[in-house]
Amino acid sequence: MGGVDLGVLGPFEVRLDGEPRDVGGPRLRTLLAVLAAEAGRVVSVAALGRALWGEEAPAHAGRTVRTYLSRLRATVGPEVIRTRPPGYVLHLAPQALDAARFERLAAEGRRVLAAGEPAAARERLACALTLWRGHAAYEEFGGVETLAAEGMRLDRLRHDAVQDRIDADLATGEDAGLIAELEALTAAFPGHERLWAQLMTALYRAGRQSDALEAFRRARHGLITAAGVEPSPVLARVHRRVLAHDPALLAARATAVVTGPDDALTAGEHALLEDGDLRTGREHFETAYVRAEQAGDAPALARAALGLGGVWVHEHRTAVAAASLLTRLRYALERADPGSTLGHRLQARLAAELDYEAGTHHRVLAAAERTRAAGDPVAHAEALSLAHHCLLGPGHARLRQALATELVGVSGRSGRRTDLVMGVLWDTVDRFLAGDPHAERRLGELDDLLAERRHLAAGFVADALKVMLAIRAGRFGKAEAGAQACVEAGRAAGDLDALGWYGAQLVAIRWFQGRLGELVPVLDGLMHSPTLSPIDNSYYAALAVAAASAGDRRTAAGALARLCGQDLGALPRSSTWLTSLCGAAETAYLLDDGATAVRIHELLAPFGHLPAMASLGIACFGSVHHPLGTTALTAGDPDRAVTHLRAAVRHNLALAHWPAVVFSRRRHAEALLRRGGPGDAAAADRELAAADEEARTFAGPPVTGR
């Protein structure tokens, strides 16, 4: 690459073969900085012009930009700045840009920290932070909107890396001197609760319990005054531990639990409730159940049966495994006191397993009501989480939110870390499913909780949500790599959804790349996987769309018929219901099946305000207004199609789902042309031009859409 290195984490710096190089005046530096901020992605000539002159570009701005770029290429080399229609792309090795090195080291540090290796994490995070040479990234380009935004993004990542490094310091016992640093940071960022939690921990370790409690009082006062909110569960938990003189707050993080060779039950409960390790938990609980049955130990039998259920509902997917779990739960319940904690927990678990498979929720909600009335926090926390998992249909949003909020509150009394983790996790998922603009904030809180101590099952969901966000951003290469890493994380956790979620993520990526037809053989195999939930019909829909996209109308029609059955309205309102109907809508459009389109429109109409998301938010196909517009178009109602697709564009913009924006703009243009009213042709041209401009910004193969 000509030995070019760029520094943006402070004063803008260009080095050629290790020596500083002046590339020219402010405009040349600005252009190179914009290309650096978008390294690896094409930046159009128009966008480069806006960076130099804003919205009031002079005449012949494009020619001037090309002249400037020619000068830059003469300095840094033509292989570094390459021409790619409609503009230019900076072609550098990742290590040649200090911001890229920083992001890689910071991400490695956080990953290693979550894996329970704080010393290694501390080393990586410290290296990442030493790359910063100034107070801000792109600091000389504050007047350039795109660079100011990128600088803010990098600054947030730097702030996160500092907090991760402090967590690593605390975990390794290297906490001397942290108090002064944290006092300064909490003064500068009073709304960042993680910093306050770290300060309280450092003060407590220094023997200053009263100062730690005073720090909590200051944090709480600031939050109530500034935002009218109470401290989050993460900060409240540290407060409770300080009040309780929790000895674990004094020690470096434990990395293992010591159990006797025959203590399979304790080992299983630690693996499941502390680490979220479903695979290890199941192995121990299987051993514990057999031993308890042989010994006639009813309480141990109940604990083992509950542990075999795991964290989620319906973890046992095959008919034999599911029947075995139900038999064991009933057997244990017959031998338990129905009014005891174990009795309540067994009733809730059995109700949830039966409800989930039937696509209902009345049994588990009744069980949650019983645990609420009994005042049993452990059983109630468990019942709330199980009930939430049985209520993932699009019509359950308010009830889910209420259950998640109650679970977070109950977790403070249950004394089990897993209840807090699940409460925050469910709340995060709910916000994404509802299209809440603040959902990513809650995901950050979940990340902070998992950085404190790993929880494999919850970490798998958090990773999957990040893959979904990468797809929304149009970063398809990053999303595909993340999906591959995510499936490994799921397998490590022992989560049977690992392969199914990977398939859903791959479908979303290929859908927005216009390459879904490539997946027909894969989907045909996945559709019959025994690990899929019995109420998951999304793979029939995915196969139908993929086959129709590939021109295989016979396979598409067959898969659509299997999905529809006697009536599409009979499909269970599961966590994949919306995406299944979205796939059916697209298939009906491709097959020109007006009757099916009309029925899909009737079913989807109440949910136009939602994003079409799969499972726990792990794949997003954009606004439900898009399939509503598509079905209206298929049914021959272009007026209604235009209304829905215009709304889809707005909703997808609000979701920051740029590939979906492109799809909806193109479909909107088609609807306008079909309607053919005054001004519709010009409006369609504008939509297509905007879609083409947005599609060029994506990393990876282009979005082709329809």
Rounded CA-CA distance 115/253 in Å is 12
- The predicted structure's pLDDT at residue 226: 74
Residues of the chain with CATH 1.25.40.10: 497-699
Strand order of the sheet with strand 43-44? 43-44, 87-90, 81-84
1-171 placed in CATH 3.90.1720.10: no
Burial class of 261 by CB neighbour count within 10 A (0 to 12, 13 to 18, 19+): exposed
Residue given tokens 């973890």 in the structure block: 315
Rounded CA-CA distance 586/580 in Å is 10
Rounded CA-CA distance 568/563 in Å is 7
pLDDT exceeds 90 at position 553 = yes
What proportion of the chain, given as a percentage, has pLDDT over 90?
55
Could you tell me which of 578, 643, 588 has the C-alpha nearest to residue 611?
578
| Phi, psi for residue 651 in degrees, rounded to 5 | -65, -40
DSSP helix/strand/coil, 621: strand
pLDDT exceeds 60 at position 704 = no
For 525-540, b/e burial (b = at least 16 CB within 10 A) is ebbeeeebbebbbbbb
Q: How confident is the model at residue 1 (pLDDT cuts 50, 70, 90)?
A: very low
Contact between residue 310 and residue 282 where contact means Cβ atoms under 8 Å apart: yes
- The predicted structure's pLDDT at residue 597: 96
275-443 placed in CATH 3.10.20: no
Pairing verdict, β 87-90 and 611-614: unpaired
Per-residue pLDDT reduced to its tens digit, 452-463:
888 999 999 999
What token pair was written down for 610? 């939602």
Per-residue pLDDT reduced to its tens digit, 349-372:
999 999 998 888 999 999 999 999
Peptide bond into 94 cis (omega under 30): no
Could you tell me which of 452, 457, 484 has the C-alpha nearest to residue 470?
484
* N-to-C CA span, the chain: 38
- The predicted structure's pLDDT at residue 258: 31
- The predicted structure's pLDDT at residue 227: 67
Rounded CA-CA distance 476/428 in Å is 23
Domain boundaries 497-699, corresponding CATH code: 1.25.40.10
pLDDT exceeds 60 at position 679 = yes
Could you tell me which of 203, 260, 198 has the C-alpha nearest to residue 235?
198
CA–chain centroid gap for 556, Å, is 30
Per-residue pLDDT reduced to its tens digit, 98-145:
999 998 999 899 888 887 888 899 999 999 999 998 888 988 887 888
- The predicted structure's pLDDT at residue 339: 93
Could you tell me which of 627, 632, 596, 630 has the C-alpha nearest to residue 612?
627
- The predicted structure's pLDDT at residue 702: 47
pLDDT exceeds 60 at position 507 = yes
Rounded CA-CA distance 86/78 in Å is 17
Per-residue pLDDT reduced to its tens digit, 283-322:
889 989 998 998 899 999 999 999 999 999 999 877 788 8
Q: How confident is the model at residue 182 (pLDDT cuts 50, 70, 90)?
A: very high
What token pair was written down for 681? 């042709």
- Residues 6+ away with beta carbon under 8 Å from 199: 179, 182, 183, 185, 186, 212, 215
Higher pLDDT, 251 or 634: 634
Per-residue pLDDT reduced to its tens digit, 511-544:
999 999 998 887 877 666 666 666 677 888 999 9
Is residue 610 left, alpha or beta, with left meaning phi > 0 and alpha meaning psi from -120 to 50? beta
- Residues 6+ away with beta carbon under 8 Å from 88: 35, 42, 43, 45, 48, 69, 81, 82
Per-residue pLDDT reduced to its tens digit, 54-111:
877 788 888 999 999 999 988 888 888 888 888 888 888 878 899 999 989 998 998 8
- The predicted structure's pLDDT at residue 253: 41
Residues of the chain with CATH 1.10.10.10: 1-171
- The predicted structure's pLDDT at residue 531: 60
What is each CA distance from 291 to 264, 307, 326, 330, 545, in whole angstroms? Answer: 9, 14, 19, 18, 50
Residue given tokens 């004063």 in the structure block: 11
Average pLDDT of 505-514? 94
Per-residue pLDDT reduced to its tens digit, 262-292:
478 888 898 899 889 998 899 889 989 998 9
Higher pLDDT, 171 or 94: 171
Pairing verdict, β 619-623 and 611-614: antiparallel
Burial class of 397 by CB neighbour count within 10 A (0 to 12, 13 to 18, 19+): buried
* Residue length of the chain: 706
Q: Please give the model's pTM, rounded to 2 decimal places.
A: 0.66
